[in-house]
Amino acid sequence: MKTVKLNNGVEVPILGFGTFQITDPEEAEKAVKDAIEAGYRHIDTAQSYMNEESVGRGIANSGVPREDLFVTTKVWVENVSYNGVIASVERSLNRLRLEYIDMLLIHQPYNDVYGAWRAMEELQKQGKVRSIGVSNFGVDRAVDLAEFNEVVPQVNQIEINPFQQQTKNIEALKEEGIIPEAWAPFAEGKNDIFTNPILEKIGNKYGKSVAQVIIRWLVEQDIIVLAKSVKPERMAQNLNVFDFELTKDDKAQIATLNKGESQFFSHSDPEMIKWMASRKMNI
Helix (H, G, I), strand (E, B) or coil at 4: strand
Measured CA to CA, the distance from residue 203 to residue 197 in angstroms comes to: 10
Query: Is there a contact between 173 and 156 (Cβ–Cβ < 8 Å)?
Result: yes
How many angstroms separate the Cα of 253 from the Cα of each of 39, 211, 214, 256? 30, 16, 12, 5
Which residue among the candidates 40, 49, 82, 110 is catalytic per the annotation?
Answer: 49
The residues, any chain, with a CB within 8 Å of residue 88's CB and separated by 6 or more, are 47, 75, 76, 79, 283
φ/ψ of 177, rounded to 5, equals 80, 20
Query: Is there a contact between 39 and 241 (Cβ–Cβ < 8 Å)?
Result: no
Bridge partners of residue 212, in order along the sequence: none
Measured CA to CA, the distance from residue 13 to residue 102 in angstroms comes to: 11
Annotation says 49 is catalytic = yes
Give Rg (Cα) of the chain.
Answer: 18
Query: Is there a contact between 263 and 188 (Cβ–Cβ < 8 Å)?
Result: yes
The residues, any chain, with a CB within 8 Å of residue 164's CB and separated by 6 or more, are 187, 258, 259, 260, 261, 262, 263
Query: Is there a contact between 193 and 187 (Cβ–Cβ < 8 Å)?
Result: yes
What positions carry a catalytic annotation? 49
